[in-house]
């Protein structure tokens, strides 16, 4: 039967397809409700949306995003099926604006799949950021030693879990020593406004690499469901920059704005000392300079060649359950 719901052909193309993330994870768009037209209809509360030109829809969507009118975006919803290491899930769940149903280790057997970072992503603690890693990978000998230790821990945990399950120990008890590298799954339903807020934080280059990998795939899915909202989000939120009062005052010292033109003030310059004199700390000065560099333009295009079926993914998960080959 032909649907009367608003749909997007690019979204229909990936609906129910599973995109791999990390070594054993995935993100699938299970369902969605609405698109860019839904945002416009909610904003205008109009039944005559079909007479609108796409350029008018784009202009309104960008206006709403630019001026932080977010309620219309709450009328579009996404439902995802995601599989991620538990330490990523613990970061993810801090975004308390979604409906979540996680795989239950009390009810079902846990697939014994564990995340192992590649050498290029294995790094020492950052000297400048207490919650991050250095950009350059750690020495390969250290990586091999870490892998050996990880495998020993995981082997022991998996053996203990498998043994307890075979002895009919309650699943809710048998699971308690599985490491944070173990993969879990959930269904995650969220509206477009809150999803874009999640992506602004987790697709940011400063986010942890592992959760950023999931955010990148989900951003590509937003691009297919609501491309105009996606474009406005990239322009105003992801790559746009907010400026403080002091930063704007500093920029006003350099640039004179009139109704007809912007002009650099003759002889104007702002040294670090001048910025410090305005009240900016050394870190704020560094961050202000970073804001003024031309931003990149992320693409987030999905690679359809990597898309898998639910049956293929389900088979892999089933094979990783203890006793699958008994």
Q: List residues with catalytic annotation.
A: 202
Tell me which DSSP letter residue 117 carries.
Answer: -
Tell me which DSSP letter residue 98 carries.
Answer: S
User: What's the CA angle centered on 59, arms 55 and 62, to 5 degrees?
Assistant: 135
User: Kind and range of the H or E element at 255?
Assistant: strand 255-257
CA–CA separation, 266 and 303 (whole Å): 50
Number of other CB atoms surrounding residue 74 within 10 Å: 16
CA–CA separation, 35 and 38 (whole Å): 5
Gyration radius (Cα) of the chain, Å:
24
By the 10 Å C-beta count (0-12 exposed, 13-18 middle, 19+ buried), 258 is classed as exposed
- All residues at 6 or more sequence positions from 316 whose CB lies less than 8 Å from its CB, including other chains: 24
* Cα atoms in the Cβ-side hemisphere of radius 13 Å centred on 82: 26
Residue 278 · residue 246 · CB < 8 Å: yes
* 42-46, long-range: CB < 8 A, 24+ apart: 42/71, 42/72, 42/75, 43/69, 43/72
Structure tokens at 270: 């702002």
Residue 75 · residue 42 · CB < 8 Å: yes
Number of other CB atoms surrounding residue 137 within 10 Å: 17
């Amino acid at each position: 039967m032909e649907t009367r719901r608003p749909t997007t052909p690019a979204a229909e193309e990936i609906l129910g397809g599973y995109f791999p993330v990390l070594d054993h994870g995935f993100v699938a768009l299970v369902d969605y409700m609405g698109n860019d037209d839904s945002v416009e209809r909610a904003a205008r509360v109009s039944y005559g949306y079909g007479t609108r030109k796409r350029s008018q829809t784009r202009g309104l969507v960008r206006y709403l995003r630019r001026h932080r009118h977010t309620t219309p975006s709450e009328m579009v919803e996404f439902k995802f099926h995601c599989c991620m290491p538990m330490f990523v899930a613990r970061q993810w769940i801090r975004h308390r604006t979604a409906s979540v149903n996680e795989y239950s280790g009390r009810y079902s057997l846990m697939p014994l799949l564990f995340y192992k970072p590649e050498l290029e992503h294995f790094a020492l603690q950052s000297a400048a950021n207490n919650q991050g890693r250095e950009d350059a990978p750690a020495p390969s000998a250290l990586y091999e030693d870490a892998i050996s230790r990880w495998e020993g821990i995981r082997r022991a945990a998996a053996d203990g879990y498998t043994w307890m399950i075979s002895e009919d120990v309650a699943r809710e008890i048998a699971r308690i020593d599985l490491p944070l590298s173990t993969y879990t799954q959930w269904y995650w339903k969220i509206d477009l406004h809150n999803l874009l807020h999640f992506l602004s934080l987790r697709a940011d280059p400063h986010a942890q690499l592992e959760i950023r990998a999931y955010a990148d795939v989900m951003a590509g899915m937003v691009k297919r469901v609501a491309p105009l909202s996606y474009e406005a989000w990239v322009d105003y939120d992801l790559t746009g920059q907010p400026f403080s009062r002091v930063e704007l005052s500093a920029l006003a010292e350099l640039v004179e704005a009139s109704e007809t033109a912007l002009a650099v003030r003759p002889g104007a310059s702002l040294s670090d000392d001048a910025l410090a004199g305005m009240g900016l700390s050394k870190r704020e000065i560094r961050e202000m300079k970073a804001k003024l560099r031309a931003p990149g333009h992320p693409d987030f295009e999905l690679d359809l060649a990597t898309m898998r079926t639910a049956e293929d993914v389900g088979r892999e998960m089933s094979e990783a359950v203890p006793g699958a080959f008994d």
